[in-house]
């Protein structure tokens, strides 16, 4: 039986996604227990029918010296055979040392799985993967406050934690490798779940570290109601009654997983997470890029909502965040450079280029009658593939007009990216001409999010929705 099979069997038998962490700290052990070993065994006895796994953190046992190491061996022997053990050791080193660590974890301690640090790359992980019946969980986005100092570092718009998840998928091959995803960063968790809908997540950080259970379940659960192991250590071990604490948390997890109407894995890979939509809506509203009232449009018609993304130039942090959304849209597309449509999309295109390192060109609205008399600014070569970038889309007219001079120069266009889709037929217009539209968010999603967050009054929200329904 492999670790993953053993895990699923334990989950189904105990009706639980609760992983009980064993982090013994001598100063916090109740006086009624005669030492570390007795304390840990008592916690196991209290929770053995409620947990799907145990996660002893080897650091706490090592810190107690010989007594702690003896307690670890006793704990491993005391855990019921049908419940898998994840040794939280965060091992990794050069190949030969990693092989020694793997022997220690699996052959000496007899753990079913282990946590690993990916910093040394594949050769530091491969010795653990050689144990095909055991499991590994690689640190991806951890729950500690300064995790972002390294893990959020981005290249070409792709944060390091995302790169780690993609690498781990290649390391797994036909097998399975899990990820450690901190509960304090549900947006990152939802992002990785969309990219890798089947991967198992080991999730520390609920409770004591500030992670919210409901947000974790919404972000991390697979469509089958599994895929996450909710780890709890201090909240159970040092509770007045560990069994009652474990019962309560298991019940909360099960209520959450059964109460969710859908899971992120069931949504399209490009669908934004709810919290991402809400954050973007608040940002645009605060910058005055989305306004509500009575506005006269260029056509002479009246509208209760007005979008003006030109204002982003005054808010550099907002502009950078918008560029992040575009960078996500560009992932997976095949192209050589982006072409921003003047004028509103030019600063956005520049921000996207700076964030991602993707070359930018743009077609002029008016051809110069002097100098180079270029129609298209920037360097390009005939035969290259270009993605059109604009701020929003109503109909597809301006995009089709912009495409003409680019195609006349021998450039190929297949995709168009915008921040906001007003859902007024633009996608269909583009599709009729062979172009695919990719939008970060729809106008209706912005309206619904602002209404849910209280930025838009209920009566105003109804009026805007009625307007959108009539378009």
Instruction: Kindly give, in sequence order, each residue whose CB lies less than 8 Å from that of residue 135, ignoring residues fewer than 6 positions away.
Output: 2, 3, 4, 7, 84, 86, 112, 113, 114, 176, 178
Rg of the Cα trace of the chain?
27
Catalytic annotation present for 90: yes
CB-based contact 207:235 (threshold 8 Å): yes
| CA–CA gap between residue 344 and residue 311 (Å, rounded) | 9
The helix (run of H) or strand (run of E) holding residue 330 is helix 316-330
Distance between alpha carbon 86 and the CA centroid of its chain, in Å? 23
Phi, psi (deg, nearest 5) at residue 93? -170, -175
Task: Write down the catalytic residue from 90, 141, 158, 399.
Answer: 90
Neighbours of 98 (CB within 10 A): 20
Q: Which two tokens stand for residue 274?
A: 């709810």
Look up tokens 């699996």; give the residue. 106
Q: How many residues does the chain have?
A: 471
8 Å CB contact between 418 and 390: yes
Show which residues are catalytic.
Answer: 90
């Amino acid at each position: 039986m492999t670790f993953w099979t053993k895990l699923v069997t334990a989950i189904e038998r105990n009706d639980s996604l609760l992983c009980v962490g064993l982090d013994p700290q001598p100063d916090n052990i109740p006086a009624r227990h005669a030492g570390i070993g007795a304390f840990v065994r008592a916690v196991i006895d209290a929770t053995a029918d409620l947990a799907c796994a145990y996660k002893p953190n080897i650091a706490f046992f090592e810190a107690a010296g010989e007594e702690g190491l003896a307690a670890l061996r006793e704990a491993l022997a005391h855990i019921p055979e049908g419940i898998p053990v994840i040794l939280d050791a965060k091992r990794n080193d050069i190949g030969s040392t990693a092989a020694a660590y793997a022997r220690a974890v699996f052959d000496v301690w007899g753990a079913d799985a282990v946590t690993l640090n990916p910093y040394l790359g594949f050769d530091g992980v491969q010795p653990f993967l050689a144990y095909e019946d055991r499991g590994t969980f690689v640190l991806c986005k951890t729950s500690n406050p300064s995790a972002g100092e390294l893990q959020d570092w981005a290249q070409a718009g792709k944060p390091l934690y995302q790169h780690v998840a993609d690498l781990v998928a290649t390391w797994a091959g036909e097998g399975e490798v899990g990820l450690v995803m901190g509960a304090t960063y549900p947006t990152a968790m939802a992002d990785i779940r969309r990219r890798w809908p089947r991967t198992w997540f080991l999730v520390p950080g609920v409770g004591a570290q500030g992670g919210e259970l409901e947000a974790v379940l919404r972000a991390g659960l697979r469509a089958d109601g599994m895929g996450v192991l909710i780890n709890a250590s201090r909240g159970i071990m040092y509770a007045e009654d560990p069994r009652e604490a474990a019962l309560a948390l298991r019940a909360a997890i099960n209520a959450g997983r059964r109460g969710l109407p859908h899971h992120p894995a069931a949504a399209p890979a490009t669908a934004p997470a709810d919290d991402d939509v809400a954050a973007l809506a608040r940002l645009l509203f605060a910058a005055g890029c989305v306004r509500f009232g009575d506005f006269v449009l260029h056509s002479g018609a009246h509208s209760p909502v007005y979008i003006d993304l030109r204002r982003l130039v005054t808010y550099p942090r907002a502009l950078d965040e918008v560029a992040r959304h575009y960078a996500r849209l560009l992932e997976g597309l095949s192209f050589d450079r982006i072409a921003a449509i003047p004028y509103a999309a030019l600063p956005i295109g520049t921000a996207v280029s700076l964030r991602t390192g993707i070359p930018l060109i743009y077609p002029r609205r008016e051809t110069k009658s002097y100098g180079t008399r270029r129609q298209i600014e920037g360097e390009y070569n005939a035969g290259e593939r270009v993605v059109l970038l604009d701020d929003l889309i109503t109909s597809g007219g301006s995009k089709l007009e912009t495409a003409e001079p680019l195609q006349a120069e021998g450039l190929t266009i297949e995709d168009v990216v915008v921040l906001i889709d007003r859902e007024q037929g633009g996608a269909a217009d583009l599709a009729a001409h062979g172009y695919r539209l990719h939008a970060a968010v729809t106008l209706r999603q912005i309206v619904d999010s602002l209404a849910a967050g209280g930025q838009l009054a209920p009566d105003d929200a109804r009026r805007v929705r009625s307007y959108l329904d009539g378009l």
